[in-house]
Structure 1
Amino acid sequence: MEMDYVTEFPHNHMDRRPRKRPRLAWETPQAHAKAQSGIYCGQEVGNVTSYGAARVHPNNAGMFVKGLAQKGFPQWRGDDKDGHYMFAIGENLTSRYTINRKIGEGTFGQVLDCLDRETGETVAIKVVRSIKKYREAAMTEIDVLQLLKKYDRSGSRCVQIRNWFDYRNHICIVFEMLGPSVYDFLRKNNYHPFPVDLVRELGRQLLECVAFVHDLRLIHTDLKPENILFVSPDYIKIPDCKVTSRLPTEGTYYKRLPKSSAIKVIDFGSTAYEIRDHNYIVSTRHYRAPEVILGLGWSYPCDIWSVGCILVELCSGEALFQTHENLEHLAMMERVLGPLPQHMLKRVEKPAEKYVRKGRLDWPEGATSRDSIKAVLKLPRLQNLVMQHVDHSAGDLIDLLQGLLRYDPSIRLTAHEALRHPFFNRDYYRRF
């Protein structure tokens, strides 16, 4: 279902994001599927009760099984040059699943909308590229998903794994079908922000999920709007009074609101265990915590920083830190949140030490261009940014964000502490 307009949305309110980000597009039009063709044959070799590595001999993982083509399986075809699984609409993915369409793509592989012929349910199947490192990451994700499923029996927080199998050297993970991502919803609303009452409900659920994951001694490490999905794709359209009042001659613009605020977190492929070494780079750029950039090591608080960035984006419509360069990113943090603590800058080690000079951030002296300096200077302080977009409860939201976006991870709010914040507990009128 697409959005209807009485008149076109004014050009100056269109996509204000200067960057393109990979996203899981759960509402990809069917037309994109025509370019797909061919798959291999194989067997199911795992299920949700199976832990550990896939039980299939590597030499037989992609072998064509004689006679299966006559029973609905396609002929053997190879992967594309990047190891992505090739398929055609209507073909089978094992004897159990029929491919309806492609609904997402990423560096890991593809996500397919499939019919589970055994249950009659429509499911989403993540088909991982046939490359060793992605297969290994997929098996780690399966372990995490099964742990989450064990302790989240109601399935109210995280996406639910239904099944998994190894098919022609592709790890395939079967999930419940969900709605669009929060990012896709914003995009189809031309990045118009969500009402603060909806931000409150989304933030509450997100923090409940993070608290649950952290209690299991897991760190998600890649929280972002693309990895938060509405449970239902249904929405309503209402007139956007703010746009209409500013532009009376342009007619009425209708924005979307989800019928249900229920969400689930997805993509546990980068999830880290507490006990392992945490010095490598994690998180998608715009949601990356300062301790990660500075090479100081990271733990649970890096997820909390990401949550803070996400909440700002939901109430403003735009990513808080729109950059692709480390020094500029740190300078943007200082512009929005104030100076980085001296004790963090003094502990910086290679290769991040080049961002610090004489005990402070090497900015603007170290800037790569004047445009970079301008990009930083145009950013408002956090308080001003929130007040530009929030009509009521702005004070509580600002105070919450200041706790989530504390530079020092040791004093950053935990998920449980954030859930006790007045922003979530005052008796505000809730519509969602």
Structure 2
Amino acid sequence: MVDFYPLARKAEVLHVPMEVYLMFRAAGGPDILGQSAAVSLLDWFELDTEIIIVMERPSPSMDLVTYSTLHYPLPEDTVRDIMRQLVLAVIDLHNKRVFHRDLKSNNVLIQETEDGIRVRIISFGCGCIVSTIPYTSFTGCLSCAPPELFLERKYMDSPTSVWQIGGVAYELFNEDSKFFNTYEWFIDALGMKTSITASEEGKHFIQVCLEESPSKRISLEELERHPWFFTTT
């Protein structure tokens, strides 16, 4: 059963699935193709038991897992560029009231352009609308869920996005090539932290993102101004 949501477009109201609604809010339609970090929605079709979504395919591009593997080890300047773009992209999503909820390396594309690499975000199927009320149910990869989900049975959108950004940064700097896992971060925190091959500023970036308490975790807006983005290695 697919829930449908009202979407006002060109003087008419369409009722569309949540994923379509979020993609349109995040990136618009084919008339503004490729102008945002989120991939653009081209079209969608409702079948009897499923929804088919046609989306932009940035070319050439590959997911961040593949890109980081092919170019291992990534220079810190490259990681910094990727993370800076990702932070700005997530801030843009939240400003558009889109909560992705499943930010991880598999859902980040790296598009290669003449001007350098460009971060693109895909897979909005676990997303929802930004809310001032805590969420009590979770969709997405539980290994990337924030600790407050397990400790308090509730979470907020912005601190969750920051936590997941930290998880992506951890993976790009982890010399053991481990995927980030919230549970393992705490049960083997020392071992995981010592495996991070980053400058002190880079390590601090990860640490403030992965602060256990959401009230002490750095905000998205503060993250944009983190000193690491203004240093060179």
| 1:147 aligned to which of 25, 31, 36 | 25
**Which of the pair is proportionally richer in helix?**
2
Q: Which amino acid aligns with 1:144?
A: L
Quote how far apart the aligned CAs of 1:186 are.
Answer: 3.2
Q: In 2 relative to 1, CA 159–51 (structure 1 residues): closer, same or farther, beyond 3 Å? A: farther
- The reply on whether 1:266 has 2:122 as its aligned counterpart is yes
Work out whether 1:297 is the aligned partner of 2:128.
no
Q: Aligned ranges for residues 103-252 of structure 1 at < 5 Å? A: 139-150=17-28, 155-167=35-47, 170-178=50-58, 179-188=61-70, 192-232=72-112
The alignment status of 1:335 with 2:194, answered yes or no, reads no
**Which has the greater radius of gyration?**
1
Tell me the secondary structure at the aligned position of residue 53 of structure 1: strand
- Report the CA distance between 1:273 and its aligned residue: 1.8
Instruction: Confirm whether residue 380 of structure 1 aligns to residue 191 of structure 2.
Output: yes
Shift of 1:163: 1.9
- Counterpart of 1:174 in 2: which secondary structure? strand
Any idea what SS the aligned residue of 1:204 has? helix
- Give the letter aligned to residue 119 of structure 2: I
- Alignment partner of 1:261: what SS? strand
Contact kept, 8 Å, 2:39 with 2:122, in 1: the verdict is yes
- Give the distance between the partners of 1:425 and 1:315, measured in 2 at CA: 18
In the alignment, the residues of structure 1 paired with residue 167 and residue 183 of structure 2 have an alpha-carbon distance, to the nearest angstrom, of: 14
Superposed CA deviations along residues 194-230 of structure 1, whole A, max 9, x for unmatched, are 2111100000010001111122233211000110012
- Aligned counterpart for 1:421 among listed residues 200, 221, 226: 226
One-letter amino acid of the counterpart of residue 68, structure 2: L
Provide the C-alpha distance between the structure 2 equivalents of 1:160 and 1:215, rounded to a whole number of angstroms. 17
Aligned residue type for 1:419: E
The residue aligned with 1:32 is none
Q: 1:319 aligns with which of 178, 181, 193?
A: 178
TM-score, normalising length: structure 2: 0.80
CA contact (8 A) 2:110 2:119 kept: yes
**What runs of 5+ residues in structure 2 fail to find an aligned partner?**
1-8
Change (3 A) 1:162 1:141: same
**Kept after mapping to 1: 8 A contact 2:108/2:122:** yes
Partners of 1:304 and 1:404 within 8 A in 2: yes
Distance in structure 1 (CA, Å) of the matches to 2:184 and 2:105? 23
Compared CA separation, residues 285 and 169, structure 1 to 2 (3 A): closer
Consecutive unaligned residues in structure 1, runs of 5 or more: 1-47, 55-138, 235-257, 323-328, 337-378
- Residue 400 of structure 1 pairs with residue 205 of structure 2: yes
Tell me how far apart the structure 2 counterparts of residues 202 and 423 of structure 1 sit (CA, whole Å): 12
1:270 deviation in Å?
1.2
Q: 1:155 to 1:332 in 2, by over 3 A?
A: same
What letter matches 2:168 in structure 1? I
- Which amino acid in the other structure matches residue 170 of structure 2? V
Tell me the TM-score normalised to structure 1 length: 0.45
